[in-house]
Structure 1
Amino acid sequence: MANPAKAKGTAWESALVAYLREYHNPDARRNAQMGRLDIGDVSGYYLHAVEAKAEKSITLSDYIAQANREAVHAGQPFGCAVVKRRMKGTADGYVVRDVATDVRLMTRFRDAEELLKEYNFSVWFEHDQHHREAA
């Protein structure tokens, strides 16, 4: 690839997809660029449009605005930027959202857990214990 910045971005997207496939969703994939109707760089991060960024100068406000626009285009409720951390592996990257998006996400999680707890306490309890141990 002739453009080193593009090659760096492609490598980060590919590393992110490999990580998501191993730990989150085996169907994660890179998306084709679609211009002004872009749906994000990566699909398969549950409920999110992902804007993957691997740049020397980090501009979070631009990344978040882009991710939120692309979430609308992708029909996803949440957008996030996944930013490469220099000299670190994929797991050390940053997932970034604005506070409004994060509050909507946490509210959805809270409501879903409350529903599960009410519907089937023992299943919720096992789920809760599993995720507490994984932390």
Structure 2
Amino acid sequence: MRTSANAAKQKGTAWETAWTRYIQEHHNPAAHRNVQMGRLDIGDVSGYYLHAAELKAEKTITLSDYIAQANREAINAAQPFGCAVVKRRMKGVADGYVVRDVATDVRLMNRFRDAEELLKEYAFDVWHEHDQQHREAA
């Protein structure tokens, strides 16, 4: 039993480390793994903009549990959004999944929409350049 628990913990730690490095390279160099705080946990990784990120690398995926945990941890972390970051078996970090419930995703999309509309209204040229840059990156 002990070996199995240690192996699972090592797999989870490896996933958290790999994802943190990916986020540091592609999103936020200041991203970092958090110390576990029990019932006051703030997610496994900080620095994913506006999110408490709960990372999971498990054989059996239980999205409802992951999302409930991520949403609780977002409250603890004073972040507006929680997400589960789930490792895809036999794949690299970029092929993993970021998962939110529909209510959280709609709130996030509304925030993006409102921010883009404000930018378009007050600095159209900046918005247009930003829009082109992100469309080309897709």
Please, what TM-score do these two structures have when normalized by structure 1?
0.99
- State the 1:35 CA deviation: 0.3
RMSD value, Cα:
0.5
- State percent identity of aligned pairs: 81
Query: Which structure 2 residues correspond to residues 92-111 of structure 1 after superposition, within 5 A?
Result: 92-111=95-114
Q: 2:69 aligns with which of 61, 66, 69?
A: 66
- State the 1:27 CA deviation: 0.3
Q: Aligned residue pairs: how many?
A: 134
Give the secondary-structure state (helix, strand or coil) at the position aligned to 1:49.
strand
Distance 1:80 1:24 in 2: 16
Give the equivalent residue in structure 2 for 1:38: 41
Please, what TM-score do these two structures have when normalized by structure 2?
0.96
Per-residue CA shift, 1:77-125, capped at 9, x if unaligned?
0000000000000000000000000000000000000000000000000
Give the equivalent residue in structure 2 for 1:56: 59
1:88 aligns with 2:88: no
Structure 2 unaligned segments of length 5 or more: list them: none
Give the secondary-structure state (helix, strand or coil) at the position aligned to 1:80.
strand
Structure 1 unaligned segments of length 5 or more: list them: none
Which letter maps to 1:101? T
- State the 1:128 CA deviation: 0.2
- Runs of 4+ in structure 1 deviating by more than 3 angstroms, as ranges, are none
